[in-house]
Amino acid sequence: MDLKRLTPTLSVAPQIAPGDLPAAAAAGFTTLICNRPDGEQPGQPDHETMARAAQAAGLRFVFLPVVSGQLDEAQGRAFGEALAQAEGPVLAYCRSGTRSTQLWALSQAGQRPWAEVLQTAAAAGYDLSRMPPPPARA
């Protein structure tokens, strides 16, 4: 697994396999968030397969699919809610890790300065400089 740590409690990754989940659990992750729609690419495990593998590894599974290039603030809020409900470190994945990083960035609206969000993403290898800052939530 090619994990990139964004925060002490959130890491993102490109597509992972069901066989990776015991190692994720052993590394301390408690929740797995799938940000990839089923059928996006041939050979990709569907969310039901990943949910079963997550459960077998003792991980909570959250399916929050986002079509590449079509993420919105509501999805960012849903991602933030999934993070808030997690009882330990979270691993989120998509095709490359970028969508998961973008969702985290949207979830940070009003919580962190946008420059800090962009810097955190860049330090993990994700360039979000073209992503406009979301409006702060009250």
Task: Indicate whether 134 belongs to any domain.
Answer: no
pLDDT for the residue 109: 80
Residues sharing a CB contact under 8 Å with residue 109, sequence separation 6 or more, in sequence order: 73, 76, 133, 134, 135, 136, 137
User: Structure pTM?
Assistant: 0.93
Closest to 47 measured CA to CA, from 37, 56, 57, 55? 37
pLDDT at 65: 96
pLDDT of residue 133: 83
CATH code (residue 24): 3.90.190.10
Which residues span the domain enclosing 89? 4-123
pLDDT at 136: 64
Task: State the pLDDT at residue 137.
Answer: 59
Consecutive 10-residue runs of the chain (138 residues): their mean pLDDT? Answer: 93 96 97 95 94 97 92 92 96 96 92 92 94 73
In this structure, is residue 36 part of a structural domain?
yes
Structural domain total, the chain = 1
